[in-house]
Structure 1
Amino acid sequence: MKHRRSIDLVAGHEAIEIDRETLATLPQWYVIHAQCPACRHETMIDRRQLAYRSGKDTTLTKIGPRLKCSSCGNRRGNQLLLGKLPRD
């Protein structure tokens, strides 16, 4: 699946263990997106700000349930998507 900015939203060749991966150990070429299932709003999340608020040792599985949609206010079923930036 591709984002409208041509960012791969599915890990390509590298497998990321989302239950063990933390904000501190996630490689720099990954970007974090959030998607609301109710209104399909999608936005990019700033990793540094997220690490400041929740702690850099927070696993990625704990972040998804804590998300709130900025468009409709939904708190249920919000998804965390990882995107991989192109590397030269």
Structure 2
Amino acid sequence: MNMRHRRGIDLAPPVDYAVDLHHETLGSLQEMFVLVAACPVCLKSASIDRWELGRSVGKHITLANLAKKLKCSGCGNHAGNSLLLGKLPRD
């Protein structure tokens, strides 16, 4: 899935960085990445404040487990929501 964030951030897995969602945690994820949740039902996507989320659920949660806990704020859907990674442009 290739999406584009409203700020122009590509929301696709970067080719130069392999992210293993089952081992990567909020705390171990490099700072150049932003998290975006996407709902397959209503097609809403929203950026996630990873620092706030890390304070509330813990920074040791894997990205795969985090994706399972996502709930759409638009339609309330719990099933099949995606966690997308965006790589911020470097100056």
Amino acid at match of 1:83: G
Q: How much does 1:4 deviate? A: 3.3
Amino acid at match of 2:7: R
- Residue 10 of structure 2 corresponds to 8
- 2:73 maps to 1:70: yes
Question: Aligned residues: percent identity?
Answer: 48
Q: How much does 1:11 deviate? A: 2.5
Q: How much does 1:9 deviate? A: 1.0
- Residue 26 of structure 1 corresponds to 29
TM-score (norm 1): 0.93
Q: Which of residues 32, 45, 50 is equivalent to 1:47? A: 50
User: Structure 1 stretches (4+) deviating beyond 2 angstroms?
Assistant: 1-5
C-alpha distance in 1 between matches for 2:84 and 2:31: 15
TM-score (norm 2): 0.90
- Residue 61 of structure 2 corresponds to 58
Amino acid at match of 2:37: A
Aligned-pair Cα RMSD in Å: 1.0
